Copies of this chain bind each other. A is one copy, B any other.
């Protein structure tokens, strides 16, 4: 039987979703309460001023948040998120979103996500509130099939 690890949970989520492959997300690391995800900025992710669309920067941060808050293998969704935009990356930039668990109290969790270029320049900072809705993300049947 395959062990349920944060990485397997994140990979399971990514294999079931339409968004991660559409955006070219790459999972760099997943641990309990932590996930780091990479995305390369494409022309179909730009806004009308030629910079990254804020929606794509948020989407990357939100993905890292989702893998981090589901890392305990209890199905968890986003209730709220706030993002500050600091700089606008350009086409071809590799963006890295790093999500860390700040707190987990009952069914509520708080996660901080930093979005930076691969070179370390700050692009955005995100804070998300998660709510655990129950049930495992990756169950026995999934594991057997995994």
Contact = CB atoms under 8 A, between A and B. Distances in A.
Interface residues on A, range: 35 or more
A86 B105 contact: yes
Taking the full assembly, how many copies of this chain does it contain? Answer: 4
Interface in A1-38: 12-22
Main SS of chain A's interface residues? Answer: mixed
A66 B81 CA distance: 18
23 contacts: A12-B48, A13-B48, A16-B48, A18-B42, A19-B44, A19-B53, A21-B44, A47-B66, A48-B66, A48-B137, A53-B63, A55-B59, A58-B62, A58-B81, A77-B88, A79-B108, A79-B129, A80-B129, A84-B110, A86-B103, A102-B125, A110-B122, A125-B127
